[in-house]
Amino acid sequence: MDALKVSLCGIPLDNPVIPASGTFGYGHEFAQWYDINCLGTFSFKGTTLSPRLGNPTPRIAECSAGMLNAVGLQNPGVHEVIREELPKLRSCFHKPVMANVSGFSVDEYVEACRLLAAEPQVGWLEINISCPNVHGGGMSFGTDPASAALVVEAVRKVTDKPLIVKLTPNVADIIPIARACEDAGADGISLINTLVGMRIDLKTRRPVLARQTGGYSGPGIFPVALRMVWQVAGAVHIPVVGMGGVSSAQDVIEMMLAGATAVQVGTANLVEPTICRDIIMDLPRVMERYGITSLSDIIGGAR
**CA 181, CA 94: separation in Å to the nearest integer?**
30
Answer positive or negative: Cα dihedral of 16, 98, 89, 130. negative
Dihedral angle, C-alpha 192, 195, 196, 197, nearest 10 °: -160
Per-residue confidence (pLDDT) for residue 290, from 0 to 100: 98
What's the confidence (pLDDT) of residue 142?
84
| Separation of alpha carbons 219 and 235, rounded Å | 25
CATH of span 2-298: 3.20.20.70
| pLDDT tens sequence across 25-76 | 999 999 999 999 999 999 999 999 999 999 999 999 999 899 999 999 999 9
Give the mean pLDDT of 12-31: 97
Q: Alpha carbon of 268 to those of 58, 60, 184, 232, 274: distances in Å?
A: 21, 15, 33, 24, 9
Q: In angstroms, how far is CA 203 from the centroid of its own chain?
A: 35
pLDDT score for 42: 98
Residue 3's DSSP bridge partners are none
Whether 218 contacts 245, CB under 8 Å: yes
Entry pTM: 0.96
Q: Residue 137 — very low, low, confident or very high, per pLDDT cuts 50/70/90?
A: low
Mean pLDDT of the chain: 95
Just list the catalytic residues.
131
